[in-house]
Amino acid sequence: MLKLSSIRNVDSSPSKNIDVFIAACGYEGRAIAASESFHLSARKKLAIGFASQRELEYNANKAWFEKAGFDLIEVDDGKFRDTLNQYLSQSTPDGDVWNVEVDISCFNRFRMAHLVDALRALPAAEVLVTFRYSIAEFTPPAADTAPTVIVAPVIPQFAGWTTRPDRPPAAIVGLGYEPNKAIGIVDHLEINNATWAYYPLGPVPEYYQRVLEANRSLVDIIQSDGRCQPYDLNEPAQLFSEINSLVDMLKPHFNAVLIPFGPKLFALVSFLVATVHDDVGVWRVSSGALEEPVNRKPSGHVVSVSVNFRTMN
């Protein structure tokens, strides 16, 4: 298994000599936004679609991926990892280092976790991955919140099995604008006094106030002693550094778990932190198929972050 050796923000300009470009063919309008700008130099291109919820802009996105020369494969979550592994096994890097690009914008957290895990498991000395994230235009949250039906590690590889089960849990939560979902899981774990939260600031300012409004009950509990902090969507490497340092601080006293609500970029950073800390879990708290599909359109802002996985002596 390769280890994360570096992470840095990069500008949103096209890369050269990409071995594989991977994107999700979903129903959101932003599903093709990053691919339109960054796929042209890729030797192989994979768009992974879904076996259900082929609605809203799904068919238009599918047609674009096929016209752009992507290999398009539609699978349910249960077959996602095998499909990904098979595709990567049939691909070879142009040199000694794998150069991979991934648009995470429309992957769900389950698939994103498997992507990160599959890339660090490639049979190579070094894998360089550029992750792209298309920030969506503001879309008001749904009036009716679907009930939570999934509370579990997102995949077994990120369960974070601890050798010290006697230690109490602590949560690091990425806040989204789903009303009261974060406070719900904090109450479920009974850890109001051991919860740290991050809320996003970015180029679409409407999200900021809605996120704080949706999480007011939790923010009021933890903000007074500095356990609720903003993060800049345009600075994922800085977010990684902050969360990684917080995990280091918590681990001698707690079993830490990362709970990524909100932008997919926070989920990506959570998985990357968990690759550094095998004993830190990443949990999925979701309404599953009960969630109403929302057509999130691209804002025109794309965030890019470069991650290096390599063998460590």
pLDDT of residue 77 exceeding 70: yes
Every domain range in the chain assigned CATH 3.40.50.11700? 150-290
Q: What is the CATH number of domain 150-290?
A: 3.40.50.11700
Note the maximum CA span of the chain: 55
pLDDT of residue 288 exceeding 80: no
Residue 84: phi and psi, rounded to 5, are: -65, -45
- Better-scored residue on pLDDT, 150 or 135: 135
What's the CATH fold of domain 3-137+299-310? Rossmann fold (3.40.50)
Mean pLDDT of 303-309: 98
Reported pTM: 0.97
> Does residue 295 contact residue 31 with C-beta atoms inside 8 Å?
no
For residue 292, the model assigns a pLDDT of 86
> Does residue 281 contact residue 257 with C-beta atoms inside 8 Å?
yes
For residue 179, the model assigns a pLDDT of 82
